[in-house]
Structure 1
Amino acid sequence: MSFQLFAWCMSFFLLLCQNVHGYYNISVSGGYGRSFDGIGAISGGGATSKLLVNYPPKQRDEILDYLFKPNFAASLHILKVEIGGDAQSTERDGTESSHMHESWDENYERGYEWWLMVEAKKRNPSIKIACLPWAFPGWVGEGKPDPYNRPNTTAMYVVKWILGAKKYYNIDVDYVGIWNERRYTTEYVKVLKQLLLANNLKNVKMVVADGDWSVSADIMKDPAFAAVVDVIGAHYPGTESTEDSQKTNKTLWASEDYSTFNDDVGAGCWARLLNRNYVKGLMTSTIAWNLVASYYDALPYTRDGLMTANEPWSGYYEVANPIWVTAHTTQFTKIGWRYLKHESGVGHLERGGTYVTLISPDNKDITIIIETMTYNHSKCIRPRIPKYEVFSQQAEFFFSGILSGVTKLNRWKSSFKYGLGEKSSVFVKMEPIKVSLSSFRLSLEPDEVYTLTTLEVGVKGQYGSPPPSQKFPLPYSDSYTNYPHYSEAFNFVPQCGVWEVRPAYDDPKNKVNRQVIITKRDVAVSVKMLIPRSNGTTGAFVGSRIDRGGCEALTAKGVFFTIFPADSSYAVYCRLDRTCKITTGVLKDPLKFDTWYTLKIDTKNSVSSLYIDNKLLITVSLPGTIPKNGFVGYGTTNFGIADFDDLSVM
């Protein structure tokens, strides 16, 4: 009888367990893991938020709420911004103005990162602010392409930006970096720390060096250097840190990651990174490049933001699913929560996927985030990772110790679908999970994200549909009269140098754009230009059918109509770098410095008609290498001064 009872009990036990693929203990009995530093996103590197500024106020506020408003959508913990450096940063989408074009020049009205930080703080006063230079003005290195040539000068340039944020916008900067994805010197990092301390900025932490993990070697061999480094920040680490970086005992971050088209594969990439950067790499913060894709689709890294907002003329925007993947973590955690230890709340699932558990400082609340993203549906733009598999599975979780009293977990779920005609469901609130005898079981399918939490929060914020998408409105014109001085003209995305609205040289009451828009195939573009004799550029151009921007702008193909006042000549080029020439000539009427001229290109099919002051100069046939459509733009042949006004596109 006893044997039969034992056999029956054993059979019953096996029946209960036969479909369970993994058992996971959730406990703080063995201590805690690392402290959670938050999830963030980057504006800049470069000009990624440019088109957001001139959205209609209603839609602009909605977009900002989706990004920053607590317990609403992405609810970001960190905003990282570019310290503009008057140059194209890496290979991205435009230039951002510096607060100091020259050593004697300080201006804290330039650009839009100040505005964005203010808007983020308005919605979430607790959001952390990080800053990083992607480029430096030439004067910093005293004419040499090396900002470390004069470390004190460069460090003070950065410190002044941080001081300006506080003085003019009441923004306390929390983190500062060195130089995006470029070399560092230990001397410069030490000098920057000294100047931060000397200027009452002791609370600003140093993130070094926004590249790879190799800085760890210098930290371990140089105690003075180690003393000034607060965070080791790596870019696109592939969810892994190095043994040396972990040995430093420094805080580890993925200080730039993601950078992937924001469809559902991009959402899968982001979900995988947010968990696995800690599970595999002990990284306590992951920061996405970029915050919002507010740049034209034809520029590099199309729609690589958490959401897309690149139609200010229509007000249309897209709340992409990376926003809701972010919410799975950000709405149910806070900076200062602690990860639990590996195998006590953090780890890999038996049949693919990962889980992390975070606990509040008072041990009263916990949040578990689970992801089962498959290899093909979570590919990031970089780096390539080894293939892996994920299968359907039953997972059983056990609470022990002080967590054994948990009786209910609120549940949020995203289920991504990639088949033809299938639609993903994201960030859906489900029935709570009842925890019985300190355990619960969960059925997991591939390509899912779960949040399980004791918190009674969580909102899938909605504003309804934005206005419908529209093509760029033509005809288009801009006289620059309604902009504040030092601001950037709407809808223009500077690709080289610095462009600001300034008083005209010949009439200070007039405003001009000093130093590109999506067009249809047949377009006429005109702009007024003035080249001053003093410090003027050698030539200025108007362009049409331009095929690229970013750091590849100098190799752009298109039609570039250029005038040179010094010898009254003109040229029509088919490449911006002037290595491809269509025609050249000398004007009958001499050109003059300090004089306004209107240049116009009217292109139809494969023929361009070129005008000066509304008089036809020449008609040229375009070579087959010219793109059939593209941007329009204007600019200078070198870094001399020119004023531009009254742009018209028809």
Structure 2
Amino acid sequence: MKKIVFLMMFLGTQLYAKEVKDLQCESKTTPTDIRINKPHFSWTFIGDSKSPKQGGYRIMMATSPEKLKYPDLWDSGPTSSSQSSGIQYSGAPLKNGQRVYWKVIIWGNNRGAVHSKVTWFEMGKIKNPKKAFQPNVFSKSKKGVTKISINCKDKGRTFEGIGAVSAGASTDLLYDYVDPVRSQILDLLFKPKFGAGFQHLKVEMGGGENSTCGSEPSHAFTKEELKNPVSRGYEFWLMKEAKNRNSDMILEYLPWSFPGWLKPNIYTQASADYFVAFLDVAKKQWDLDIDWVAAAENENDTDRNWLVNHMRPTLDARGYKNVKIQGPDDNSGDWKIFNDLEKDKAFDKVIEAVGYHYVTGREFTDNMVDGRGRPTTAKAKQSGKPLWASEDWSWTGKDWGGAGALNLARLYNKFYIRDQITKTLIWAPIGSIYKSVTWDKTGAMKANEPWSGYYEVWPTIWATAHTTQFATPENWQYLDEGCGLFDASTYKGSVVTLKDKNSANWSMIICTENTETLEVKIKKGLANDKVYVWKSDAENQFVELKSIIPKKKSFTIQLDPKSIYSLTTTTGQQKGTYEIPESKAFPFPYKEDYEDRKVGDLPKYHSDQKGSFEIALKEDGTHCLKQVAPEAGYDWMRIYRRPNIKPHTLIGDVNWRNFTCSADVFIEGGNVELGGRVKGSFLNGYRFMIAKNGSWKLIFNKKTLSKGNIDGFDGSIWHQLKIKFQDKKVEVFVDNKSVTKANHIVSSGYVSFASSYHSNLFDNLEVTPNK
């Protein structure tokens, strides 16, 4: 019997095994004496019945096998490409005699990753070797004093701002806060010279599919809705609130997923119309003028012909000539788009800024700032086109060290010093996400208790303020000779200097790793009066210190280690504060009848993870909750990420264990679910699913605990579902009649509603202690 089982396991492994092999450099295995700067690479992918073809790849190259975890030579990032040969090296300049270790990760066309073994190649004597970029390093005196001279005639790019990306449902629970607390949180995010003062806000154009921490709704779930697009979700509201606080706020939007009616090809005229309809909602229903559209799909590259022949002409024809296109907004590609732009004038004209994600890599430690990532190329810098880190960082703002606040300030500086990047956007501005949901700790600050009003202002708010409160987009310019490093070996200690284009004012943002003495000489044309000093460190953030009066156009300042300083001749900065309400657990017991919000609005305290749930009218004129996504959408990162099971929404407390939950349901079609003790984004927990014909299942995670059918079940009327959890005992009731019992495991989690892709209805949610 054991032999038969082993044979079945072996055959099953062979049937579904994927393999990547035959890794070659310049068509040779482990070659030596490679003499070109940019060799080419190939491999063979063997798929399985589930994923017979390659759907994407990632190449990693490093100076040792150990460093392949955080590649120090080249990391292509995940690419949605089936190419497996002729792939040209795009990493750091290679050296004579250097051995390079490399591997690839391949994703099948229907998900599932396979790693190659580590291999290597060796360089010979390179013909015309490339030189590595060398950042500006400030000179030091024999006494160790770093000297910087700032000059108003110095050249430098225009500062375009620091911003944030509200996407992936990361701002979910902020919408449910009530004033005045909600307004206070928004002040800390967007009010100039008060808190973080984000100057650019990019939002998700929702598609109804999970886009990281949940799903955001679409403005046109059907082709018919495109004629009268709908303001759904909270992103339009968030843009309006940001704009109310800063009239110069720069606005941008980008899709992660698309509704199903646009499948299978998102690069069509219909898709261009869909993009423009989002602008119509913003303008006509919210009086918002959006400045930028990032095209075409988050981290999945873009399409030249679509942009040139459909997107740009449609924007122009519909009255949006002022809306600019940024692209490719990818997390891979090593700025290769410039190879296309220099050969294609029409494409170059359409792309008005170039943005890439995670430019310094994703090593979430204090060494992140020294990660190579995907630096801008000489060609990118020489183009003169605006260069953006269009999504970066993605960490918890609670930390000072590690990958936290100090690291982020260092990144802001590094991106200009190394990459000539003039705009950085972080994900996310705020973590308003239920606990246990994917990336629930990310954000510059936290606000995930709308029922109590509690929120947390994290150090990253003030690390960001060290730039945003001292320079404004388009009005300020970097001074290149005043931008550089204290030590050539690390970006942990850095300085950037900027000047106001319309006055003699200047600001200097400094990050330190070690104790430093800095001497600043001020040349003619820059303000030479009082210099105001602001400081942040691990203990205290954004503290104004004693100001400095330069003598003979010069001053010296002592700098503490692991700190951020802003020196400026401007005024008006402040550390905005409000009294924060106390933290409280989610209300228990809890009732929700959906009567306190308008039809079409989001339900209070719900967190959609897939599909879209909104307030709707019942036949009797009262309100209920409705699942409105009519079909599965065009899923974001469909090659790399496992899909969520079905449309579902979470509510409650992740710590709920022993309780009874009930809700009324109307099954328009397919099936509905009531769940409890559910955690995360993938319906892990207990779920009672019932179909319109009365068939049902009790499920835990992916396992069916019991199933059956209710005789005489009337699928044309409302029914009440109820689940009682008491330690290991789980009992399900339909219309107050016990249907099934299970003696399983003890767990805790949220209550959930789930639905097939039908307009199913939910009402009268009630969560109570057991009697």
Same-fold call, TM cutoff 0.5: yes
Partner amino acid, structure 1, of 2:486: L
**1:27-61 per-position Cα deviation (integer Å, ceiling 9, x unaligned):** 133x32111111111212x1111211121211101
Indicate the larger mover: 392-401 or 355-364. Answer: 392-401
| Superposed CA offset, 1:555-613 (max 9, x none) | x42111111232x22111112xxx411111222x3222221111111111111011111
Report the counterpart of residue 514 of structure 2 in structure 1: 391
Q: Which amino acid aligns with 1:470?
A: K
Tell me, yes or no, if the aligned pair for 1:409 and 1:433 is still in contact at 8 Å: yes
1:570 maps to amino acid: W
Could you say which residue in structure 2 is the equivalent of 1:429? 544
Q: Equivalent of 1:153, from 261, 270, 277?
A: 270
* Residue 350 (structure 2) pairs with residue 223 (structure 1): no
Instruction: Note the alpha carbon deviations across 1:293-348, whole angstroms, 9 max, x for none.
Output: 11112111123111111101001011111111111111111111343343x11111
1:358 match: 498
C-alpha contact (below 8 Å) 1:274/1:286 kept by paired residues: yes
CA distance in 2, matches of 1:297, 1:279: 37
**Runs of at least 5 residues in structure 2 that lack an aligned partner in the other structure:** 1-139, 361-368, 370-374, 629-649
Q: Is the 8 A contact 2:659 2:767 kept in 1?
A: yes
1:27 to 141, 151, 165: 151
1:270 aligned partner: 408
Cα distance in 2, alignment partners of residues 58 and 391 from structure 1: 42
TM-score (norm 2): 0.73
In 2: Cα distance, 1:582 partner to 1:509 partner: 36
How do 1:159-178 and structure 2 match up within 5 A? 159-178=276-295
Question: Aligned partners of 1:130 and 1:557: how far apart in 2?
Answer: 35
AA in 1 matched with 2:657: R
Q: Which residue of structure 1 lines up, in the alignment, with residue 692 of structure 2?
A: 565
Q: Is the 8 A contact 1:87 1:135 kept in 2?
A: yes
> Would the aligned equivalents of 2:157 and 2:477 in 1 still touch at CA under 8 Å?
yes
Number of the residue aligned with 2:507: 367
Q: What does residue range 24-103 of structure 1 map to in structure 2 within 5 Å?
A: 24-29=148-153, 31-44=154-167, 46-89=168-211, 92-103=212-223
SS at match of 1:619: strand
Could you tell me which amino acid in structure 2 is paired with residue 258 of structure 1? W
Question: Do the aligned residues in 2 keep the contact of 1:359 with 1:366 (CA within 8 Å)?
Answer: yes
Q: Which amino acid aligns with 1:443?
A: Q
Distance in 1 (CA, whole Å) between partners of 2:170 and 2:196 is 18
Matched to 1:219, the amino acid is L
Letter in 2 for 1:530: F
User: Which of 495, 511, 517 is equivalent to 2:624?
Assistant: 511
Deviation at 1:402, TM superposition (A): 2.1
Residue-by-residue CA offset, 1:42-89 (whole Å, 9 max, x unaligned) = 212x11112111212111011011111122111221111111112111
Q: 2: CA distance between counterparts of 1:81 and 1:448?
A: 31
Asked if 1:249 is matched to 2:384, the reply is yes
More relative contact order in 1 or in 2 (CA 8 Å, sep 6+)?
1
Question: Are residues 1:298 and 2:449 paired?
Answer: no
Does residue 574 of the first structure (1) align with residue 700 of the second (2)?
yes
Among 202, 210, 231, the residue aligned to 1:109:
231
* Deviations 1:263-300 (CA, angstroms, capped at 9, x unpaired): 22321222112111111111111111111111112111
Quick one: which amino acid aligns to residue 28 of structure 1? C
DSSP-derived class of the 1:544 partner: strand
Amino acid of the residue matched to residue 125 of structure 1?
Answer: S
Q: Specify the SS of the correspondent of 2:608.
A: coil
| Equivalent runs, 1:116-515 vs 2, <5 Å | 116-141=238-263, 144=264, 146-148=265-267, 151-178=268-295, 179-190=297-308, 191-211=310-330, 212=332, 213-238=335-360, 240-263=375-398, 264-265=400-401, 266-342=404-480, 344-350=481-487, 353-372=493-512, 390-403=513-526, 406-416=528-538, 424-464=539-579, 466-504=580-618, 506-515=619-628
How far off is 1:463 after superposition?
Answer: 1.4
Alpha-carbon offset, residue 17 of structure 1: 5.5
SS of the aligned residue for 2:547 comes to strand
Deviations 1:428-451 (A, max 9, x none): 001111211222222222210001
For 2:187 and 2:520, locate their aligned partners in 1 and report how far apart those are by CA, in whole Å. Answer: 35
Local SS of the residue matching 1:491: coil
From 663, 673, 696, give the equivalent of 1:541: 673
Determine the C-alpha separation between the residues in 2 that align with 1:474 and 1:582.
28
- Which residue number corresponds to residue 7 of structure 1? none
Contact 1:395 1:442 in 2 (8 A): yes
Secondary structure at 2:289's aligned position in 1? coil
Q: 1:512 to 1:362 in 2, by over 3 A?
A: closer
Quick check: 275-284 or 241-250, which moved more? Answer: 241-250
* Secondary structure, aligned partner of 2:339: helix
**Corresponding pairs, count:** 580
User: 2: CA distance between counterparts of 1:354 and 1:122?
Assistant: 34
Q: Supply the AA of the counterpart residue of 2:510.
A: I
Q: Deviations over 1:92-120 (max 9, x none)?
A: 11111111111111343311111111111
> What letter corresponds to residue 321 of structure 2 in structure 1?
K
Which residue, out of 619, 630, 633, partners 2:741?
619
Q: CA deviation at 1:18?
A: 4.7
In 1, distance between residues paired with 2:422 and 2:723?
Answer: 53
- For residues 301 and 511 of structure 1, the distance between their equivalents in structure 2, rounded to whole angstroms, comes to 30
Distance 1:565 1:227 in 2: 54
Q: Does the CA contact (< 8 Å) of 1:547 and 1:557 recur in 2?
A: yes
- One-letter code of the match for 1:262? G
How large is the RMSD of aligned CA atoms in angstroms? Answer: 1.8
Query: Take 2:141 and 2:611, find their aligned partners in 1: how far apart are those partners?
Result: 66
Please report how far the alpha carbon of residue 163 of structure 1 lies from its aligned counterpart in structure 2 after TM superposition.
Answer: 2.3
Contact 1:241/1:281 (8 A) holds in 2: yes
2:40 counterpart residue number: none
Alpha-carbon distance in 2 for matches of 1:279, 1:226: 25
In the superposition, the TM-score normalised over structure 1's length comes to 0.86
Fraction of identical pairs, as percent: 33
Secondary structure class of the residue paired with 1:396: strand
- The alpha-carbon distance between structure 1 residues 311 and 235, as it changes in their structure 2 partners (threshold 3 A), is same
Q: Counterparts of 1:474 and 1:244 in 2: how far apart (Å)?
A: 59
Question: CA offset at residue 195 of structure 1?
Answer: 1.2
| Residue number in structure 1 paired with 2:79 | none
Q: In the aligned structure 1, how far is the partner of 2:356 from the partner of 2:749?
A: 36
Deviation of residue 401 (structure 1)?
3.5
SS across alignment from 2:531 = strand
The 3 A distance-change label for structure 1 pair 435 and 210 is same
Aligned equivalents of 2:627, 2:258: Cα separation in 1: 20
Q: Would the aligned equivalents of 1:258 and 1:270 in 2 still touch at CA under 8 Å?
A: yes
Q: Distance in 2 between matches of 1:128 and 1:362?
A: 20
